[in-house]
Structure 1
Amino acid sequence: MDVQVGDKLIMKKNHPCGCNEFWVRRVGMDFKIECAGCGHLVMVPRAKVEKNIKKILREESQDHEY
């Protein structure tokens, strides 16, 4: 699964604050994700995150020539 830093993940399960959206802050064997609702940072094993992803929202980078 292609998850990159800066992506917003919509998860199947909610965080205890009630939000199910998380920002990806670090990718590797573990993911560091930040809750979009309360800002809590969580380190989660890659397999657990990939199993619980419902949707990936990615901002398309805009390349500008100056």
Structure 2
Amino acid sequence: MALLIEIGSTVRLKKPHPCGNYDWTVTRLGTDIGLLCVNCKRRIMVSRSQLGRRLKEVVSDSET
């Protein structure tokens, strides 16, 4: 299954970040996907396959 996300999309993961937030903003697309925590602004990089397993839903698409 292909991930239908764009830069600027907000995604919700299955497990919370240690700060307690579930929502992340997509900052980079490629082999790895860059995510920015909406609450504490922590940046992480995850592989596409790993994000596919962790993803619960796409909350909002980018406004372009």
Q: 1:37 corresponds to which residue? A: 39
Normalised to the residue count of structure 1, the TM-score between the two structures is 0.84
Q: 1:27 corresponds to which residue? A: 29
Moved >6 Å (runs of 4+): none
TM-superposed deviation, 1:59 = 3.9
Instruction: Verify the 8 A CA contact 2:11 2:23 in the aligned structure 1.
Output: yes
The structure whose RCO (Cα within 8 Å, separation 6+) is larger is 2
Instruction: Verify the 8 A CA contact 2:8 2:62 in the aligned structure 1.
Output: no
RMSD value, Cα? 1.5
Counterpart amino acid of residue 45 in structure 1: S
Normalised to the residue count of structure 2, the TM-score between the two structures is 0.86
Pick the structure with greater CA Rg.
Answer: 1
Give the gaps of 5 or more residues in structure 1.
Answer: none
Q: How does 1:1-66 map to 2 (within 5 A)?
A: 1-59=3-61, 61=63
Give the gaps of 5 or more residues in structure 2.
Answer: none
